[in-house]
Structure 1
């Protein structure tokens, strides 16, 4: 019985981790290995983020094999940009 409770708890936690809060979207970032990020929709309006999306489109087109928006830049660059946007 205890094993069923543990499994149920871990499955519900996994389900919650895949949910996207209202007002956010999922993007996958990375050059070779992609990492999942959940970002506020408001980032899409910021000129710096739009520039990143334009560069990704020019270089890679609109292929999104992960099922979400895929941005093929380094994870460090993306984190730097989103940290800047969060402070703004």
Structure 2
């Protein structure tokens, strides 16, 4: 696992690298409509938050307090393995927006350590593509969340 201090250092490094030579983050894959809509939205995160993008190019502003969660740390670790450190763009996580929304809701509701460990184990047990492993792990929420 990556320590919180190391994770914060990585996030700061990614932000500095993305900010070099330009004022905002722009993507070559955006069409004019989404680019103009995105121009209205600030590329800078609110105080106490950081911004990440999912594989389907959705933007999420996450509270810094989530950096202490093992699931978020694992997402960053897998992101670094799969995409490398983003020096010319945003932090990209290896999951889709639906999975990210589900993870955020689980963290906000307060996962028990057992549920968190079960989710982490399902991520690491998969030997196929990382993004596929995360999405497959999230397809069985009954394993993770007991009613």
TM-score with structure 2 setting the length = 0.42
More strand by share: 1
State the distance in 2 between where 1:64 and 1:83 align: 29
Could you list the runs of 5+ residues in structure 2 that have no partner in the other structure? 1-39, 111-147
- Pick the aligned partner of 1:63 from 76, 86, 105: 86
SS at match of 1:58: helix
Aligned partner of 2:45 in structure 1 is: 20
Contact kept, 8 Å, 1:64 with 1:70, in 2: the verdict is: no
Q: How many equivalent pairs are there? A: 70
Deviation larger for 35-44 or 68-77: 68-77
Contact kept, 8 Å, 1:23 with 1:41, in 2: the verdict is: yes
Q: Which has the higher contact order (CA 8 A, sep 6+)?
A: 1
SS at match of 1:22: coil
TM-score with structure 1 setting the length = 0.66
Are 1:50 and 2:70 matched, yes or no?
A: no
Contact kept, 8 Å, 2:75 with 2:94, in 1: the verdict is: no
Could you list the runs of 5+ residues in structure 1 that have no partner in the other structure? 1-13
Q: Following TM superposition, where does structure 1 have runs of at least 4 consecutive aligned residues deviating by more than 2 angstroms?
A: 63-66
